[in-house]
Amino acid sequence: MTVPSDPTEADRALKAKHRAMWAQGDYAAVAAEVIPDLGAILTEACGVGPGDRVLDVAAGSGNAAIPAALAGASVVAGDLTPELLEAGRALAARRGAEVEWRQADAEALPFADGAFDTVVSCVGVMFAPHHQASADELIRVCRPGGTIGLLSWTPEGFIGQMFATMKPFVAPPPPGAQPPPLWGDEDHVRALLGDAVTEVVARRQMVTVDRFAHPGAFLDYFKANYGPTIAAYRGIAGDPERVAALDHALTELARDHLRGEEKAVMEWEYLLLTARKRA
């Protein structure tokens, strides 16, 4: 397995668009305030410990990289978006975690074959547009016998449904780009990893989100902080009717998922998958 060839002009433009999207808003706040425990859940499932060489792919602000470093691992966090890396550096410094931060495309990782004992991605690599290219890179940089761990939103869960809700309001993806929530489908991920791995363990789990007291609070927060939602609204900013329609659709989605009488909570489903690279 080799590093992919130089990207085409269209692919470079697509990656630039992705970088700009994730630089919008404040994804570091989303990770820290809405889903703070997911990275630790992933690193624990992978058995990360002292001395392990760990790569966090599409690391964002280090939701998995920082727990891995605090567990004693030697960690590299790679992401396409420099603004997220800067946020991660600041957060790691506050928490006393030593992490190496590298700008890196999940589809063409700048690391040697077999360089890491454990390769993880926490709701990150799922957003790279070409799934097989990303999966091939996860496998390539993991050592034989090493662990690959992935935590991804499912198509049927809240975030998967949020992307389905936004789909009619955004431009169609370019040819070859695949929907992010497919990484939350076990069969899809097994097919991506193929015979290169063994000992695949996959389970669907829920994360409890108690950040939003009512549907409007969710809508306001995601419109202000979550890159894909911000991008969707910017694309229709000149059409007040479509803005109102998307507001309504996302508010109703949140209403359908909020539960609780004394305290409003949501349950967001994700797929947690671990595998071992064949020796």
Instruction: Give domain status of residue 255, yes or no.
Output: no
Instruction: Give domain status of residue 4, yes or no.
Output: no
Residue 172: pLDDT over 50: yes
Instruction: Give domain status of residue 254, yes or no.
Output: no
Q: Which residues, 6 or more positions from 199, have their beta carbon under 8 angstroms from its beta carbon?
A: 274, 275, 276
> Given this model, what pLDDT does residue 7 score?
59
Residue 262: pLDDT over 90: no
- CATH number at 36 reads 3.40.50.150
Instruction: Give domain status of residue 216, yes or no.
Output: no
Instruction: Give domain status of residue 215, yes or no.
Output: no
- Distance between CA atoms of 42 and 36, rounded to whole angstroms? 12
Residue 165: pLDDT over 90: yes
Give kind and range of the element (H or E) at residue 217: helix 215-225
Residues in the chain, overall count: 279
* Residue-wise pLDDT tens digits, 41-62: 999 999 999 999 999 999 999 9
Total-model pTM: 0.95
Instruction: Give domain status of residue 141, yes or no.
Output: yes
Task: Indicate the number of domains in the chain.
Answer: 1
* Residue-wise pLDDT tens digits, 142-157: 999 999 999 999 999 9
Sheet holding 266-277, edge to edge: 99-103, 74-79, 53-57, 116-122, 142-153, 266-277, 197-209
Instruction: Give domain status of residue 3, yes or no.
Output: no
Instruction: Give domain status of residue 42, yes or no.
Output: yes
* Domain membership of residue 19 as a residue range: 9-208+267-277
pLDDT band at 1 (very low <50, low <70, confident <90, very high): very low
